[in-house]
Amino acid sequence: MTIKKVAVVGSGYMGGGIAQVLALGGAQVVLGDVSGSVAEENLERLLKQGKAFAEAGLFPEDAYARLSANLTAAASIEEAVEGVEYVTEAVFESLDVKRDVLGRVSAAASAETIIGTNTSAIPIGELAKFVSHPERFLGVHWMNPAPFIPSVELIASEHTLPAHVDTLEALIRAVGKVPARVADTPGFVANRLQFALYKEAVMVVEEGLATPEQVDLVVSNAFGFRLALFGPFAIGDMAGLDVYASSYKTLAGTYGDRLAAPKALQDLVDAGNYGLKAGHGFLDIDPEKRAELLAYRDKAYAALSKLRAELGPAPGLVS
Ligand SMILES: NC(=O)c1ccc[n+]([C@@H]2O[C@H](COP(=O)([O-])OP(=O)(O)OC[C@H]3O[C@@H](n4cnc5c(N)ncnc54)[C@H](O)[C@@H]3O)[C@@H](O)[C@H]2O)c1
């Protein structure tokens, strides 16, 4: 199925950004919200913002014309979902509100309409209980701010028809985003990792080891700098898994099992697999590409440093 007509139910911050991306990508997008007037107000906001983004060079020059042609507001949720191939739900992160809205959406939409939720952390299997024909329901988790962050997590529940995940993957790619299929657990992948880091950062501050400003300086200029270009597995394979395993040994001496080497890492190291420098790592990187990859890394880091210098310090933050 190719998706050409979409309803965004919950046209607030995330729903609005999602609607802009889909409309710029050529889909006809109908906004639904608590009332027709709220949907209308959000439509006006999205058009105005789209124009400002285009003037700032963040959206294509013709963004206002494309958004005006492709975005409309509906008087109700029921009207919004009529005749669309896909509904994306982005209402408040509350089980009660989502129960009500997903119930109304699935009652009003055709049984073939695919329904996606932008929940940040609620398991899709939990929300699937509120959807009739749950085989057409999945998580489609965009990141904030939706117009500018590439990743969209796709989460199937045990009921989701695989063909629907394929359809959504094609749509997400077609609008220039980067889909990743992940399992249905609380927080999925992005928020589980993000919240693990955030908790550890708060603990560093609580323990008096560094101020929040110093933590941010270290993160954004050290491993967070690398994360702008690579994931943790690519970084680990390039750094050397033996180095990681030894570091965990030291950390475990103070922090115990919480920061001991994970078994899969230790197994690789015990088998002589240190990543790029010996054997293999978590990723299957072609050893013949080693020099090329490291040269790319250095070039990318230098380019990122240059970009940051051009952008200048983030207003109001220590840099
Ligand atoms: N803000 C983020 O950083 C972020 C990131 C990723 C995912 N999310 C998820 O996206 C979803 C929306 O978050 P947000 O930050 O855009 O919230 P928001 O408050 O900006 O928008 C929510 C929208 O839902 C509408 N709404 C509320 N109840 C409704 C109802 N009964 N019927 C129809 N519309 C209703 C509101 O009027 C509002 O327009 C949540 O599930 C949230 O967890 C948020």
Domain end position, chosen among 151, 182, 213 = 182
Q: Please check whether residue 189 lies inside any domain of the structure.
A: no
CA 302 / ligand 1 centre spacing (Å): 38
Strands (DSSP E) found in 99-184: 114-117, 137-142, 151-156, 178-182
The tokens of 303 are what? 């380019």
d(CA 215, CA 212): 5
Q: What is the CATH number of the domain that holds 283?
A: 1.10.1040
Domain match, 113 and 48 both: yes
Instruction: Spell out the per-residue pLDDT of the chain, length 319, in tens.
Output: 689 999 999 999 999 999 999 999 999 999 999 999 999 999 999 999 999 999 999 999 999 999 999 999 999 999 999 999 999 999 999 999 999 999 999 999 999 999 999 999 899 999 999 999 999 999 999 999 999 999 999 999 999 999 999 999 999 999 999 999 999 999 999 999 999 999 999 999 999 999 999 999 999 999 999 999 999 999 999 999 999 999 999 999 999 999 999 999 999 999 999 999 998 999 999 989 999 999 999 999 999 999 999 999 999 887 7
Domain of 228? 222-311
d(CA 66, CA 74): 18
34-60 in b/e form (b: 16+ CB < 10 A) is eebeebbebbeebbebbbebbeeeebe
Q: Please check whether residue 262 lies inside any domain of the structure.
A: yes
Domain match, 88 and 146 both: yes
Domain match, 94 and 231 both: no
Q: Please check whether residue 106 lies inside any domain of the structure.
A: yes
Atom of ligand 1 nearest to the CA of 97: 31
Cβ 118 under 6 angstroms from ligand 1: yes
Domain match, 51 and 163 both: yes
Q: Please check whether residue 109 lies inside any domain of the structure.
A: yes
User: Phi, psi at residue 90, to the nearest 5°?
Assistant: -140, 50
Q: Please check whether residue 10 lies inside any domain of the structure.
A: yes
Mutate to test the pocket of ligand 1, among 8, 9, 11, 13 (most ligand atoms within 8 A of CB): 13
Q: Treating both helix axes as pointing N-terminal to C-terminal, what angle do 63-70 and 36-55 enclose, rounded to 10 degrees?
A: 160
Instruction: Give the count of domains, the chain.
Output: 2
Decide: pTM greater than 0.85: yes
Q: What is the CATH number of the domain that holds 168?
A: 3.40.50.720
